[in-house]
Amino acid sequence: MEPEKKIIQPEFIPTGRKEMEQIGWDELDILLLTGDCYVDHPSFGVSIIGRHLISCGYRVGIIAQFDWNDVESLRVMGKPRIGIGVTSGNMDSMVNIYTAGRRKRKEDMFSEDGETGKRPPHALVVYAQLARRAFPGVKVMIGGLEASLRRVAHYDYWQDKIRPSMMVDTKADIMVYGMGERPTPEVFRRFACGESLAGIPGTARLLGKKEAELFEPGDKYLELPSYEETLKNKDAIMTSTILVEQEMNPFRGRGLFQRYGERILVIEPPPLPLSSEELDKVHELPYARKPHPMYKKRIPAFDAISNSVQAVRGCPGGCAFCGLVAHQGRSVMSRSADSLCREIDEVTKMPLFRGTISDIGGAAGNIFGSSANPEVCAKCKRSSCLFPSVCPNYKCDGLELLKLLRRLRNHPKVKHIYINSGIRLDLALRQPELLREVVRYHVSGHLKVAPEHLDAGVLKLMRKSSAEEFYQFMDEFSKLSKEFGLEQYIIPLFISNFPGCTAKAMQVVDDFLNKHHWSLQQVQDYIPLPMTMGGAMYYCGKDSAGNPIPVNRGLAERRPQIEVLKRRRTGPPRSKGFLAHGKNQKKRKV
């Protein structure tokens, strides 16, 4: 069954029957469910997928932050003709709800007025099962960040237990991992036509007993430790994490499979990254660029990005604590300068625009224009393009971003353009021309950087650059700021309680902060995310080579390192310190 030929892109994707009728739709082809408020903006995954599916000819509706205790809350637009797509939102629901101390957060950035309690724990499971109850027999696809991070058997930090793949608990027909523009339309096409779901790159399926008996992996699929083995043997999580990382390369990755008793989870290889033209097209769909009118109060996550533009997707870093690579991939995709200029034209037309583009970036502010030879990438098994050293095949001199920024500064309606995504230290020192202009024109007074730690052993476990690069960057930033006569400041991010970080290692950070009299604006206690190397190290108590490392577990063990950073944030002002916030705090140039 083919999608509709006539394509109607409404101002907002319908959220109710009245909105459907206004654009002449009597039924939906696809219903999308999300745990976030519906903001029609390309920074919100459900909006991207919704708009993309409409551009493919499907009639799509969105139900956002519904009552998960009431099956009728999903029936407001009727039964979808083809299928249902389910996401918990832009964040893993457990990260969204709970802190590193396993306490409930005081704000939900993706809810109206930051109100909490709008989504359940393990929301993807709850939503998918509710969809099954609301529409028996309708095909269900799960996706989004929570699906990506939990696509295999994984350690859940908040429950302190091993959980199976989300395909097991959700009982969905198929999972799309990653950003989803390539596999999602194909999944719904096959839903509509009744075709087999096998072999779609970027998807995962759970085979029944009979299918599992017929499954022949050959050389195309690599076996992960089974769910039963993972329950018995802690080291199995590390084995799985290493194998998953090795096969994440879209230019050479094989499929994976994992046994669950008599059933088999089959994970297809990752899809190829979008080209620059394809990424442009996705971002230039006719988004309203604002929250749906049903919301009367602010949505904090939208406030943060309303005047920003996403220039890149993907991250070359592969840091051990970060889940972004598991979702967006390591290949950096950059939009064209023309597309970004067109989007900034749209931003300047928004009612609340006051002349400032708050950010042009993505995973980092200085990776735009990255390039690599895919033929060389096809032979690579590295987990990072930048660690332990920058790969010679990875090119990022910053000149493309430099040209873009110079062009955008000439826009008649733009007064300021800032880089607020943060910049990678391991690249910044290799981009001298770009760094000069960023410091001179594109720092909003504070520049985010993420050394994460200063102890050499911990940095190695994190897959981060050396502390010396951070010190060199500080000196260069200070020198350039003075040269241009600017009073501006570095905002560094440090992480406490990363696996392998001892009290002695944390003292290195404490001594540095003492020496420079710094009071921090950003502090973070480590959260072991599923399917990350850091999460595997936390659970196993070993590094990736199998060497035992110390791990702080429970609040009593974690509190001393938390306090090292926390007192820097909440303590009294110091007369000579770099103080990043507070009305009465004095500042000094870095």
Q: Which two tokens stand for residue 88?
A: 């918990």
Through-space distance between the first and last CA atoms of the chain, rounded to whole angstroms: 63
Each as own residue / partner, the long-range contacts of residues 124-129 (CB below 8 Å, 24 or more positions apart, any chain) are 124/86, 124/87, 124/88, 124/93, 124/150, 124/166, 124/170, 125/166, 125/169, 125/170, 126/68, 127/33, 127/35, 127/68, 127/86, 127/88, 128/86, 128/170, 128/171, 128/172, 129/170, 129/171
The answer to whether 422 and 446 have CB atoms below 8 angstroms apart is no
What is the tens place of the pLDDT at every residue in 447-462? 989 999 999 999 999 9
Amino acid found at 437: E
Low-confidence ranges of the chain (pLDDT < 50): 1, 570-590
CATH no. of 17-267: 3.40.50.280
Which pLDDT value is given to residue 566? 79
CA distance 285 to 307: 17
Which pLDDT value is given to residue 567? 73
Q: What angle do CA 513, 516, 522 make, to 5 degrees?
A: 50
**17-267 with 445-590: one CATH topology?**
no
Percentage, residues of the chain above pLDDT 90: 86
The owner of tokens 């042009």 is 360
CA distance 175 to 136: 18
Q: What angle do CA 294, 298, 299 make, to 5 degrees?
A: 90
Phi-psi region of 433 (alpha: psi -120 to 50; beta: other; left: phi over 0): alpha
The phi and psi torsions of 205 (rounded to 5 degrees) equal -135, 155
Pairing of strands 290-291, 39-40: antiparallel
Which among 409, 442, 179, 116 is positioned nearest to 312, based on CA atoms? 179
Q: Which two tokens stand for residue 456?
A: 């050499």
CATH no. of 307-439: 3.30.750.210
Which pLDDT value is given to residue 361? 84
Residue 60 DSSP class? E
Which pLDDT value is given to residue 576? 33
- β-sheet bridge partners, residue 361: 310
Handedness of CA 28, 30, 31, 36 (dihedral sign): negative
Q: Is 1.10.10.10 the CATH classification of the domain at 445-590? A: no
Angle between helices 276-283 and 337-348 (to 10 degrees): 10
Which pLDDT value is given to residue 352? 85
The owner of tokens 């249902």 is 84
Domain locations along the chain: 17-267, 307-439, 445-590
3-state DSSP helix/strand/coil percent for the chain, to nearest 5?
A: 35, 15, 50
* Cβ neighbours for 571, distance < 8 A, ≥ 6 positions apart: 519
Which pLDDT value is given to residue 579? 35
CA distance 97 to 91: 10
CA distance 84 to 60: 10
Handedness of CA 539, 541, 543, 547 (dihedral sign): negative
CA distance 58 to 1: 11
Q: Which two tokens stand for residue 203?
A: 């998807």
CA distance 500 to 543: 8
CA distance 119 to 64: 10
Q: Which two tokens stand for residue 52?
A: 């993309």
CA distance 226 to 491: 43
Q: Which two tokens stand for residue 502?
A: 């001892």
Q: Which two tokens stand for residue 519?
A: 């009071």
